[in-house]
Structure 1
């Protein structure tokens, strides 16, 4: 039989360990104790898969407690890192003893106050010398290392004061309900501000109001002049005239010529007043 050159060598030639049987001797002589040993199978043994069997790698053992609750005996990752891991019961005994001593001291104080005619609340229960019957609050203060004297003298901060909100801390949108100022919202830093809350308030009375009025008048005049310039350029293009540039009127700029702008605004105010007076006169003549 001629050799087929298309068959690879690892198929056409027998391996070196096939005749000697060295591999089978090594497998029979040694027992594998690795973590994956339960996954290896002996090729000579035929297994009947019709019979259900438990896996050899499952080693979970459960222990029953007093309440008949099964707990896993093997400490895995979850059981080692539970919320009570490393908690010593003796620490809780110390805290309980401290609480008992505080309660005893508070009881002796109350008995002294009753003997000397101490204060009582509406239900008849005795109060502390500080005016409160909340022992749990005192226990929390002792755990935090605080005393009522320190809180009264404001040497230390009361932990409950952080929870409470200042009564004068009113949001700006509630203030805007009654005020006449408008809210402005800045989307970049998400701030809501109005005229009252701004550092530099927009003045609506006095010289600043006159300047703002002049600025608005200058903007209006500039818009009208720009419209006229556009119309003039369009007419020149239609007529075929080129090269005649439109001069810029510097009097329309408040910063360039404020005096001229002031005179123009006064002139326009007078013209508006005249037109109003004429309208009023005509109405009086017509309707009496």
Structure 2
């Protein structure tokens, strides 16, 4: 093996290397004394070289195994009671000093360790608002962990304040819980009310000869107990607290209204059934017509229109949000609808003034709607109109069926696929202003 001292030697000669090997072999065989470290302790010659040789940053130049041992721990408990003063300002300079923090101007730290916010221009260049120096406690330990110990100098007695705060909160919660329980429904109070009602009833009416007093007490107690136990609520007699259920248990569940497997789909995760479970019942008469029916009923459509208006307004650059400010969104939507209706009415009046036809928009009197006419109409066996109600062909603003230049067809009635041009079908001419020389091209 190579001894620990060989780490301090650089490049050795061949003879020196052979002599060192022979010495290591003699030490392993016990013929030579073992190597001794700086404290006089013998070094085991069988320790491998990679363990006995110290790295370059811990090499002391003498044989030693201290680099394999950890640092000695100071078990003295007196250091835990040392109080460190933190956050104390001792001196504030008026001008920047060389070597101080370039950001705040304090001499006790550098700019990389400064806890103040980065200034636009540091104290080094402005010479203004120089921060005072902090009181630095003498730290004996200079290693990495000791420098960053967050609990160094912590007083365990401070934790008592946290415990007292939690105890005060717990007492306040307990007192509030007791007050709520006192205000809640109590079975004893129910029985007292039942007895008081029974006594008042006895004074005004005769006692029923077939009913005993015990049965009357039980009936009154059941009556008041039923009043306390309403539908959709669960009364716990031990804690005297009322728990609201997700739904009223007397109502039929959605998935039990129609047991057909081909009926509306029920999603158990979201507890939703979008379609109606019974399609043979009108939605107005059914107990449950599907979630989509409720979404399209009442004011749900108005909310959707309001949400769409808010989105479109936001895209145009307006600050509208129905969740953040619903009143503003509702007012803007109503104002928008009024302007839209006014613009629609103005556009309608302008179109009627230009093209006419206002008489066709007037409603026909009721006596004329059910009266007889002389229009000829044919009906089929099923009652469908087959003839007599053909829709008139709409005409454009241009002249139709006008033949110019001795043509018997209009321009555009024929298309030449070779030259990709339009023409007349009578003479196959592709010149619009040409004169037709053929009366009938097909003959």
Q: Tell me, yes or no, whether TM beats 0.5.
A: no
TM-score by length of 2: 0.19
Q: Which has the higher helix share?
A: 1
Superposition TM-score, scaled by structure 1 size: 0.26
